[in-house]
Amino acid sequence: MARADQSIGCMTILLSSDALPRAGFDELREAVQRRALGGLELTVGAGQAHGVNPSLCPILQNEHLSCVPGEAGVRWIQPSAECSLPMLVVWAGAASQIGAGLLLRRPEPDVPGTTAYIHGTDSDEAREAARWAASRATFTSWEVAPSNYDPDLLDEVLAITFPYLAHVRLLGGGPEPEEGVAGEVMMRLALKGYTGTIALAPSSPKYEEDWARWLLKKRGWGCGTAADKAARRESIQVKEEA
């Protein structure tokens, strides 16, 4: 079934393979489909269990990973920060063949195709990424994590990079503790009319079990009304105990 968010330039939620590092590729696709997500952000070259590598023959790779509307296609490939330039070029070719983009941890002018340069919630990083994207006619990717989250900088960073922003790496949402950044970031992106992709990823490997349970076993993602009621009950209980 073709989904509306894939047929128009509409905010699309992806799953990062970082959330299920022990999952094979089919299991990643299953998780995406269970949660009606728009596809995958695939981290490569970091010992993940999905086993996707650039030596797959192009035809097989295309069948394996391609972005078929309504299926769990790969939208972005994320090589590790240590990936060499020659390997980045190889991955760029693989990404291009399947209609995906390549996420870069450093500016590399010799990497062809659709790329997005990752920056954090930091004004200087955002300016550097925006300059890069403007000069290369390509994109930026904002990585928001509890560790680099500064609520005072959200609007500033978004204002700097928004014309180039194609992908957000949202670390710390979903099953992780309530202090996460997800609500503030999603609200700002919505009000800006963001139409790119957002990958859900863990903020730390210590949450691996929580993500696996949340993605592969739990039925719902959690109801705000039920959470409000639970919070009120806790509040009443605390007052009674006091």
Partner 1 sequence: MSVTESQDPKVLDVRPIPPRQKHPTIFATFDALNVGDSFVLVNDHDPVPLRYQFQFERPGQVAWEYLEQGPELWRVRISRLAA
53 in contact with partner 1 (CB under 8 A): no
Task: Report in angstroms how near the CB of residue 212 gets to partner 1 at its nearest.
Answer: 16
Interaction pattern, residues 158-197, with partner 1; x per rule: CB under 8 A: ------------x--xxxxxx-x-xxx-xx--xx-xxx--
Task: Tell me the one-letter amino acid at 184.
Answer: E
Encoded tokens for 16: 């990062």
222 to 139, 190, 219: CA distances (angstroms): 33, 20, 9
Would you say 134 or 230 has its CB closer to partner 1?
230
Q: How many helices, marked H, and strands, marked E, lie in the chain?
A: 9, 8
Task: Report in angstroms how near the CB of residue 221 gets to partner 1 at its nearest.
Answer: 5
* Cβ 103 vs Cβ 123: under 8 Å: no
Task: Report in angstroms how near the CB of residue 224 gets to partner 1 at its nearest.
Answer: 3
5 in contact with partner 1 (CB under 8 A): yes
* Cβ 199 vs Cβ 16: under 8 Å: yes
Would you say 73 or 174 has its CB closer to partner 1?
174
Task: Give the residues across from 140 on adjacent strands.
Answer: 117, 165
* Stretch (H or E) spanning 190: helix 182-192
222 in contact with partner 1 (CB under 8 A): yes
Pick from 99, 109, 133, 120: nearest CA to 169: 120
224 in contact with partner 1 (CB under 8 A): yes
- The footprint of partner 1 (CB under 8 A) covers 4-5, 7-11, 13, 35-36, 170, 173-178, 180, 182-184, 186-187, 190-191, 193-195, 198, 200, 220-228, 230-231
